[in-house]
Amino acid sequence: QSALTQAASVSGSPGQSITISCTGTGSDVGGHNYVSWYQQEPGKAPKLIIYDVSNRPSGVSYRFSGSKSGNTASLTISGLQAEDEADYYCSSYARTGSFVFGTGTTVTVL
Amino acid sequence: QVTLKESGPALVKPTQTLTLTCTFSGFSLTTNGMRMSWIRQPPGKALEWLARIDWDDDKYYSASLRTRLTISQDTSKNQVVLTMTNMDPVDTATYYCVRTPRTEYYFDYWGQGTLVTVSS
């Protein structure tokens, strides 16, 4: 199972919107709606921010939203804030019962 | 309150076997649909899913590491154990224990992680 493909870095100014893409195959991202996203601040464990493509857990800011088209899932951060600087990882369930993560994207707030 | 905590050696030598234990509370792995996984992250690199164990003791492994991994559970102690054989310096990473809630396919609770360094 190959890692899902993400851009290495994305940047934006405060208040802007940015989108992070996560590209897989029909065996993972494109095969179902079990895509999740995680935010990881330096030195900390990842935190779930989106599950099942577009659902936000309780307590996660409405500024985070998710979507999917074909084999590509996307995470959008609207109204970018300094506190959003972190690494972001997508994950997908795979048909074999396993999971696969993305290569990770570093978000920088200019 | 759900908590997970990993424990194990911080340093192992090449070719040795690594044994990590995850002790959890606030839920039961015997609850129908519950799942737990191990995930690792080499320094400065991406997350990598390693193995999963389900409430009914079904087990799944990363295809690339299948021959080296064993995951098991001790329900009486609320623990999940991962063993990885033939450790190599490339296995140096922070290892996380994570929970997947009932019948879901994401990781909602993470342990703090434990850094394992492989070096002679």
All residues at 6 or more sequence positions from B54 whose CB lies less than 8 Å from its CB, including other chains: B34, B35
Closest CB to B110 among A1, A45, A51: A45
Q: What is the pLDDT of residues B75-93, one digit of tens each?
A: 999 999 999 999 999 999 9
Closest CB to A48 among B47, B61, B107: B107
User: Looking at the predicted structure, is the pLDDT value of residue A1 above 90?
Assistant: no
Tokens describing residue B3: 């908590």
Tokens describing residue A53: 């493509």
Give the A-side interface with B, CB within 8 Å.
1, 3, 34, 36, 38, 45-48, 51-52, 57, 89, 91, 93, 96-104
Query: Measured between alpha carbons, how far is A75 from A36 in angstroms, rounded to an integer?
Result: 9
User: Looking at the predicted structure, is the pLDDT value of residue A85 above 80?
Assistant: yes
How far lies A51's CA from each of A13, A33, A64, A72, B41, in Å? 26, 9, 11, 15, 21
The neighbouring-strand residues paired with A55 are A51
User: Looking at the predicted structure, is the pLDDT value of residue A95 above 80?
Assistant: no
Q: Are A54 and A67 in contact (CB under 8 A)?
A: yes
Q: Which residues of A touch B105 (CB under 8 A)?
A: 34, 36, 51-52, 93, 99
pLDDT for A97: 87
Mean pLDDT of B31-47: 96
| Strand-strand pairing, A18-23 and A9-12 | unpaired
Q: Are A57 and B72 in contact (CB under 8 A)?
A: no
Q: What is the pLDDT of residues A22-59, one digit of tens each?
A: 999 999 999 999 999 999 999 999 999 999 999 999 99
Q: What is the pLDDT of residues B97-116, one digit of tens each?
A: 999 998 899 999 999 999 99
User: Looking at the predicted structure, is the pLDDT value of residue A69 above 90?
Assistant: yes
Q: Do A97 and B111 touch (CB under 8 A)?
A: no
Q: Do B60 and A98 touch (CB under 8 A)?
A: yes
Q: What is the pLDDT of residues B14-29, one digit of tens each?
A: 999 999 999 999 999 9
Query: Measured between alpha carbons, how far is A9 from A104 in angstroms, rounded to an integer?
Result: 8
